[in-house]
Amino acid sequence: MKTVAFYTLGCKVNQYETEAMAELFKKEGYNVVDAEDKADIYVINTCTVTNLGDRKSRQFIRRAKRKNRKAIIAVVGCYVQVSPDEVFEIEDVDLVIGTNDKNKIVELCEEVKEKHKRIKIVEDIMKVREFEEMPINEIEGKTRAFVKIQEGCNQYCSYCIIPYARGPVRSRKLQNIIKEVEKLSKSGFKEIVLTGIHVASYGKDLGDIRLIDVIEAIHDIEGIERIRLSSLEPTIITEEFMDRLIKLPKVCNHFHLSLQSGSNTVLKRMNRKYTTEEYLSIVKLIRKYMPDVGLTTDIIVGFPGETDEEFEETYNFVKEIGFSRIHVFKYSPRKGTPAAKFKNQVDGKIKAERSRKLIELGEELNKVFNRRFIGKIMNVLFEEKVRGATGLMEGYTTNYIRVMAKGDISIEGEILPVKMNRISGENLIGEITNK
């Protein structure tokens, strides 16, 4: 049997697209094997958010070729889109595809093989206006399904290469989203995660439709019990949005609200479209409707010119908000973005120290949040066995607390009530109850 292996870097959208490409290969009779196995075709789905992502992509290209000198190496995605010639110049690469045209990957790999030629297909992404349909009908061994509803970004934050890699906002047609969610429901998935490059922009290219309309449209699909949203731009949250959202009980009380900095001067240099005052009022609005909401976010430390005072503003703001979890990133200059040319780049040791302080604060805030739920009974969607532990299963609450409880694989995919007993690291330990 013909074999194909995938190596995926980067975001949830890349992971979704890898699943979709794998399905295309399966339909043509290919067996999908592990990335570390010998395969006839290796597909590297690249990330270019940082220079490190580019380097990892190149490393895997070399590793794949060592596993099978005769293998076809296909490199796709964001790194290809922003540096097509650089990727195509790598001797071992047979096929390069940018962030569009991934739905042609099987036929292009076959063409490479049959005609013994190298192929490069990289469109001018800024001219692409249609959402590329790559629906997923089958996802194996998972209880949560990601559904890509949107592509591209028009924000142009000064540190970010993604608008240049993914192009302008393109939204998926509502009927196609509904069709995919219905299929996933029939496959047994109970939780759907709506994802995209900039989900909050959904519908801006379609006219009179927005993200909240999508949520309402899939809410009553039978079998789906949870709807979760991936990272959101805070400015999408309005009184009207929350008023409509709260009427939809399947929507999880968890928001990943992008922050990046808690200093207004840094936010301005980042070209973010809100102030800390606006962000705080949005958080208060969410908590008015969802008191037990889990709020997670991303923070960049050491952005060019970030002073000690600006970092302290971020530290204090994060503390004031009281996030349930934060992801901290040290700023890394990305060639091709305005911020890479900014003066006053911050020393690496200073970045590391600021990162350490924020990570410690995040751990403290996580415990404070989790402690609120000790003694309470919460519904948990169990996803898998706890690695390295016997007789323990893990899953998530609606507000995105990771929970462990005694159980076996028979409860995978089940939503069960769990009484929360104690904290263990970032997790809660509980016991399944009938109450």
Residue whose structure tokens are 């509502």: 174
| Whether pLDDT at 71 is above 70 | yes
185-206: average pLDDT: 95
Angle ∠(417,435,431) on CA atoms, nearest 5: 50
- Would you identify the CATH topology of the domain 3-123? Rossmann fold (3.40.50)
pLDDT beyond 60 at 435? no
Mean pLDDT, residues 45-53 taken together: 86
Contacts of 410 (CB under 8 A, 6+ apart): none
Report the 10 Å Cβ neighbour count for 427.
Answer: 16
Q: What is the pLDDT of residues 335-367, one digit of tens each?
A: 899 999 999 999 999 999 999 999 999 999 999
pLDDT of residue 141: 61
Here the contacts of 104-110 (C-beta below 8 Å, separation 24 or greater) are 105/21, 105/24, 105/25, 105/43, 105/74, 105/76, 106/24, 106/25, 106/27, 106/28, 106/30, 108/74, 109/41, 109/72, 109/74
pLDDT band at 1 (very low <50, low <70, confident <90, very high): confident
Q: Give the residue from 369, 388, 373 showing the smallest Cα distance to 430.
A: 373
Global confidence as pTM: 0.93
How far, in Å, CA of 360 to CA of 315, rounded?
11
- Please determine, for residue 137, whether its predicted confidence score (pLDDT) is greater than 80: no
DSSP code of 296?
A: E
pLDDT of residue 19: 92
Q: What is the pLDDT of residues 139-161, one digit of tens each?
A: 666 688 999 999 999 999 999 99
Which CATH architecture group holds 144-371? Answer: Alpha-Beta Horseshoe (3.80)
Give ranges for CATH 2.40.50 in the chain: 377-432
**Nearest Cα residue to 236 out of 179, 285, 305, 178:** 285
- For residue 383, which of 407, 353, 351, 349 has the smallest C-alpha distance? 407
Residues of the chain with CATH 3.40.50.12160: 3-123
Looking at domain 377-432, its CATH architecture is Beta Barrel (2.40)
Amino acid at residue number 373:
F
Residue 55: per-residue pLDDT: 87
- Say yes or no to pLDDT of 178 above 70: yes
> What's the mean pLDDT when you consider all of the chain?
95
